[in-house]
């Protein structure tokens, strides 16, 4: 089963030695997506939690799209938040992104992420025929 690692256009390049996605060919194709943060493709980071959530999900959408998939192909999402008060806002933002689709989900509140300015990180696994 061939595996292709990628860093699609439309997402800020990885900050160190990792790939944004790993596509496992076969039936179904399986896509594993690295944690996405609120960086825009040009490297801008808004300090607002909601803006970071929206951008992290836009990055996820770009990676899914680059592999012929969309939000409805997501099987599992794992979310890391640095502030418990962001939980209701995350749920609202997530629900808008998935538009009725309800993948499995894990939500973790952490003391911090790789960059202290990051407030949210979203990773996902998807599959499609």
Supply the pLDDT for residue 15: 87
Range of the domain at 119: 3-128
* Mean predicted confidence (pLDDT) in 2-11: 93
15 Cβ neighbours under 8 A, 6+ residues apart: 114
Which pLDDT band holds residue 20 (cuts at 50, 70, 90)? very high
Backbone angles phi, psi at 111, to 5 degrees: -70, -25
- Say how far apart CA 99 and CA 65 lie, in whole Å: 16
pTM: 0.91
Token pair of 91 as six digits? 């749920």
Element (H, E) at 93: helix 87-98
Tens digit of pLDDT for each residue in 68-99? 999 999 999 999 999 999 999 999 999 999 99
84 Cβ neighbours under 8 A, 6+ residues apart: 109
Instruction: Find the Cα–Cα–Cα–Cα dihedral 68, 39, 13, 101, rounded to 10°.
Output: -20
Q: What is the CATH number of the domain that holds 39?
A: 3.30.1330.40
3-state secondary structure of 72: helix
* Mean predicted confidence (pLDDT) in 48-76: 97
| Total number of domains constituting the chain | 1
Supply the pLDDT for residue 64: 98
For residues 81 and 90, the answer to whether their CB atoms sit within 8 Å is yes
Rg, Å, the chain Cα set: 14
- Say how far apart CA 89 and CA 50 lie, in whole Å: 7
């Amino acid at each position: 089963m061939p595996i292709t690692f990628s860093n699609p256009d439309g997402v800020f390049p990885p900050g160190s030695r990792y790939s944004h996605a790993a596509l496992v060919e076969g039936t179904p194709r399986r896509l594993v997506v690295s944690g996405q943060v609120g960086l825009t493709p040009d490297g801008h980071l808004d300090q607002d939690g909601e803006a970071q959530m929206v951008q992290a999900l836009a990055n996820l959408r770009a990676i899914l799209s680059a592999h012929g998939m969309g939000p409805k192909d997501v099987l599992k999402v794992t979310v890391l938040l640095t502030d418990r008060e962001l939980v209701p806002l995350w749920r609202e933002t997530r629900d808008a992104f998935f538009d009725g689709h309800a993948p499995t989900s894990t939500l973790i509140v952490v003391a911090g992420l790789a960059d202290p300015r990051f407030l949210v990180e979203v990773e996902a696994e998807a599959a499609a025929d």
